[in-house]
Amino acid sequence: MQGKFITIEGTEGVGKTTNIEFIQHWLNRRGVEFVSTREPGGTPLAEQVRELLLTPREEKVGDSTELLLMFAGRAQHLDQVILPALDSGTSVLCDRFTDASYAYQGFGREMDCSLIAKLEQIVQGDLRPDLTLILDIPVEIGLKRASERSTPDRFEQEQIEFFDRVRQGYLKIAEENPERCTVIDASQSLDQVQASIEAVLENFYSQASATE
């Protein structure tokens, strides 16, 4: 089967790490060859960009600076990891991708989404994920979970209104891209969340097999 590009999205504390591990095990059990990666990051250079973006600092990071750094890391990630894998027939499982730029910079920072779309086209061309799972949870619950796991990074220090906008951004993305995006209610029990994810994956791969 041709390599598929699967992305996992969501605001802080939705359980991406735990559920990505579940998806990895699911893919392994079914013999799907894949690489697992993340954004920002995914290569040594892009991981350095991640550190620049996430580390709290006294100097204010401009919105345009943040957006351009995101896409600089993404360009390197695509060149070194994502495109070579897909071109070789290997699937890619990615913790966040360009939907996060629309959600965090477009909706959260209230930047012009048409600018993000231009950068998306420059960096990605026509490449888009084949399947995107958006883990959704009320912002207050997600931030509480995130605060319990580690010291807040630069994004996690934002006000709750910022994350409300990010969440609404993700839901709007899902609404506008129903053929690609599925929203998973991450406020359910872990077993329920993973049963929902498994159902989506089963349907996705059965349809993919039918068309190849």
* Model pLDDT, residue 1: 62
- pLDDT, one tens digit per residue, over 177-187 is 999 999 999 99
pLDDT at 12 over 90: no
Across 33-69, b (16+ Cβ under 10 Å) vs e yields ebbbbbbbbbbeebeebbebbeeeeeeeeeeeebbeb
* Model pLDDT, residue 155: 84
- Computed over every residue of the chain, the mean pLDDT equals 94
Distance CA 44, CA 191 (A): 34
Q: Which of 33-42, 50-59, 63-72, 178-187 has the lowest mean pLDDT?
A: 50-59
| Cβ partners under 8 Å of residue 161, min gap 6 | none
Mean pLDDT for 143-157 is: 78
Tell me the two tokens of residue 115: 């600018």
Distance CA 16, CA 19 (A): 5
Where residue 105 falls among pLDDT bands split at 50, 70, 90?
very high
Across 159-185, b (16+ Cβ under 10 Å) vs e yields eeebbbbbbebbbebbeeeeeebbbbe
| 130, 181 contact by CB (below 8 A) | no
Mean pLDDT for 77-100 is: 97
Calculate the alpha carbon distances from 165 to 138, 168, 181 in Å: 12, 5, 18
Mean pLDDT for 38-54 is: 96
Where residue 210 falls among pLDDT bands split at 50, 70, 90?
confident
Distance CA 4, CA 31 (A): 13
Mean pLDDT for 2-15 is: 93
- Cβ neighbours of 86 (radius 10 Å): 19
